[in-house]
Every structure is written in C-alpha cells, then in structure tokens.
Amino acid sequence: MIKLTNVSKIYKMGSSEIHALRDVDMRIKKGEFVSIMGPSGSGKSTMLHLIGILDKQSKGSVIIKDKDVEKMTDEERTAFRLAEIGFVFQFYSLLPELTAIENTFIPNMLYLKKASDEKYRKNAAEVLKKLGVGERLHNYPHQLSGGEQQRVSIARALINKPQLLLTDEPTASLDTKTALNVIKTFRKLSNETGQTVVLITHEQELGAMADRGIWLKDGQIDKEKRF
C-alpha cells in the first residue's frame, strides 16, 4: 500500500536547511495497522504529509497503491486523495454551522458530485451509525462531546470508503477512556474492512494497539516492532 524509498524532506529557512526526514525506507502492507511514534520534531507529521500526498519529498520516491505520487499532476493528486485517503486529525475541524450529518457528507459531495442530497445524507447516516453516533445526526458540534466530535471526523474521513486512513494525533484532546475507544475503532476498521490505518502518536500505550510500531528519531527510522 505504501512504499517509501530513500525519502528525504528538507525545508529551507533562509540560508539554513532543516532535514525533517533523512533517507527513509518504509513499507506498509494493505490492511495493516501501523503506528508511527517518536518525540516532537522526529519527523512524524512530515511523514504523514508525504504519504497523504499533502507535500512533496525533496529526494527519493513515494509510491501509494502502486502510484508514483511525484508523477501526478496537482489535479490527479487532489482526486487521488479524495478517493483513496481519509484523514483524521487532532483537532476535529468540524464546521460549527453544520450538523454532524452535514459535516460528514462534505467529502461525498465533492467525490460523487452529481448524486442527490438524499444519497449524501443516506451515506453519511450509515457511517455515523456504524461509529455509534447514529442518534446525533442532527446535532451541531457544540452539542457533542469530544469523543463524539472525533467520531464524526472519523465518519467524514470514511465517507468515500478510502483504502488508506491516516490519523495524526487523533486522541490528543481526549480523555484516556475515550482515546482507547477511538483506537479500538481504528483496530476494528483494519480487521473488518481491510483498510490500511496509519496512526501518528506520541503515546506508547496507544501505539502498541497497532499491528506494528515504527519509531522515528531525528528524521530517521530508529526501530520497528511487531505487537
């Protein structure tokens, strides 16, 4: 599903260069649940931005689903992200003026385009119900708990049935019990739907719930471990 070969990412700050990633080789199989861990500044978020096709590497190759992302046009990159990749972030980024169901079907509108409003709502309701927030379809974000808001953001990431789910510190704003439930949701998705899940986290306990852990240090892979 994901293949990084000799990948480096260098940010230029005036006359200085910051090496966020250095010559990284990484493979993630289809259906695998992998956690990427490490201290702040280790390169975790840079890694996610590259495999999520949100940024371009400075060197090396990034292959996602047998596609060389460097050879894609901007339009192809956008279409690929919309169809194949779901994103879940620490901050839920829900639009406050939209209900849970409306927040969820926004990517579906962009993906299907010519479908009916009824179809968008049906698709969103199905995903929200599977995630245990089916009774909150018409509530606004401020009427939802932190865990419920995060589940809505997960539903939004899943609405187009992407094969790859990327999650960046998705539990950082949640209490321990809710955080565990969110990670169990990712575990279930990987097991039942065969989705590839990448979890970026600094929390070792949560990272250990994945199939495999990859630790980054100073922009390089420090170690790997199967759980």
* 88 falls within a domain: yes
Q: Is residue 41 part of a domain?
A: yes
- The reply to whether 23 falls in a domain is no
149 assigned to some structural domain? yes
Q: What is the dihedral of CA 83, 77, 40, 209, to 10 degrees?
A: 30
Query: Is residue 63 one of the residues assigned to a domain?
Result: no
Find the domain containing 220 and state its range.
29-57+73-226
Number of domains forming the structure of the chain: 1
| The total number of residues written for the chain in this structure | 227
Band of the pLDDT at 108, cuts 50, 70, 90? very high
Q: What is the mean pLDDT of residues 62-70?
A: 95
Residue 192: per-residue pLDDT: 87
Rg (CA), the chain: 18
211 inside domain: yes
pLDDT above 90 (res 189) = no
* Pair 51, 26: CB distance under 8 Å: no
Spatial separation of the C-alpha atoms in residues 96 and 13, rounded to whole Å: 35
Q: Is residue 129 part of a domain?
A: yes
Give the CATH number, domain containing residue 171.
Answer: 3.40.50.300
Residue 170 is classified by DSSP as T
Rounded to two decimals, what is the model's pTM? 0.91
Instruction: Assess if residue 77 is contained within a domain.
Output: yes
